Amino acid sequence: MRLYSGPLSLFSAKTRIALAEKGLQHELIQVGWSRADRYLPYHPEVERLNPKKQVPVLIDGDVTVYDSTLIAEYLEERYPQPPLFPRSIEERVRCRRQEAAADELWFPFIWDLIETRFYPNAGDAPTVQRAAAADRGLAELFARLDRDLAGRDYYCGDFTVADIGTAVFATAAATMGAAPAPELHNVAAWFERVSARPSVATVMADLQAAAASALAA
Ligand SMILES: N[C@@H](CCC(=O)N[C@@H](CS)C(=O)NCC(=O)O)C(=O)O
């Protein structure tokens, strides 16, 4: 199995965590990336395999899958143990809803923070306003997460893809100045629990190291 990943790619991080949780050995290929040119030039294999030219791309025998959500579903079907989706239909819906929310609600705010706080940018008014709006949006999402986690260790039963996506983007938010409010006790306990998992800890540490070296360059 081979994974094309990006050293700073949050979506690749989701896939790497899923692979680690399932104990699946793979060859990890980190595509080129720079702060100035981002993913250009694209890795030729990524460009060939994914019409969106994005990582992550997983190759497993004669199967090629791209998109972190689709890869997680593929892995679950092909390698069901240990499961990363709940058993009951109701909990699976809850899990998929949050996995989608991580990509579609959380990530756009994270992207605003990446563009305004990570990439070199003038501190002009629109930039500052964009970052402030992202902070507010993430604060609302953390508050909602806190309500959703009441009485639960993980988002839907055991650790699932819902926790993976949410943990990746929550970590990125915290790193870029939008940490959850300390009074959100359910989020704090959940964050500690998911961050302590070796899969999450290892992959997020790799990402932090890549970010630090990009900033130092
Ligand atoms: N929906 C996709 C998003 C993948 C994505 O945005 N990948 C980024 C890196 S995090 C990428 O490869 N960007 C390069 C580009 O779009 O030019 C997924 O879940 O995998």
Q: Which candidate, 158, 17, 10, 3, places its Cα nearest to that of 88?
A: 158
Between CA 179 and CA 28 the distance in angstroms is 30
The rounded Å distance from CA 51 to ligand 1 centre is 11
pLDDT at res. 165: 98
pLDDT at res. 120: 65
Distances (CA, A) of 156 to 20, 24, 90, 97, 148: 19, 23, 10, 11, 9
The rounded Å distance from CA 84 to ligand 1 centre is 22
Considering the chain, what is the average pLDDT of its residues? 95
Widest CA span in the chain: 50
**Chain segment 138-179, per-residue pLDDT in tens:** 999 999 999 999 999 999 999 999 999 999 999 999 999 999
Between CA 79 and CA 102 the distance in angstroms is 23
Q: What's the gap between Cα 162 and its chain centre?
A: 10
Q: Locate 125 and state its tokens.
A: 């008014």
Pocket of ligand 1 (CB under 6 A): 6, 9-11, 39, 53-56, 67-69, 103
pLDDT of 214 higher than 70:
yes
Name all domains of the chain by residue range, CATH numbers in brackets.
Answer: 2-78 (3.40.30.10), 89-216 (1.20.1050.10)
DSSP 26: -
pLDDT at res. 117: 85
pLDDT at res. 121: 66
pLDDT at res. 54: 98
What's the average model confidence in pLDDT over 80-88? Answer: 97
What's the average model confidence in pLDDT over 12-41? Answer: 95
* Nearest CA owner, ligand 1 atom 6: 54
pLDDT at res. 150: 98
**Chain segment 120-135, per-residue pLDDT in tens:** 666 788 888 999 999 9
Between CA 199 and CA 87 the distance in angstroms is 22
Rounded to 10 deg, the angle between the 198-216 and 10-21 helix axes is 150
What's the average model confidence in pLDDT over 10-22? Answer: 98
Residues 144 and 80: beta-carbon distance below 8 Å = no
pLDDT at res. 98: 98
What's the average model confidence in pLDDT over 192-212? Answer: 96
Q: Locate 159 and state its tokens.
A: 């650790």
Residues 43 and 32: beta-carbon distance below 8 Å = yes
**Chain segment 28-42, per-residue pLDDT in tens:** 999 999 888 899 999
Q: Hey, which of 54, 74, 75 would you mutate to test ligand 1's pocket, going by the most ligand atoms within 8 Å of its Cβ?
A: 54
Percent of the chain past pLDDT 70, that is, above it, reads 99
Q: Note the pTM of the prediction, 2 decimals.
A: 0.97
Residue 169 has a CB neighbour count (10 Å cut-off) of: 24
Residues 6+ apart with CB under 8 A from 126: none
Residues 6+ apart with CB under 8 A from 148: 98, 155
The rounded Å distance from CA 196 to ligand 1 centre is 26
DSSP 8: T
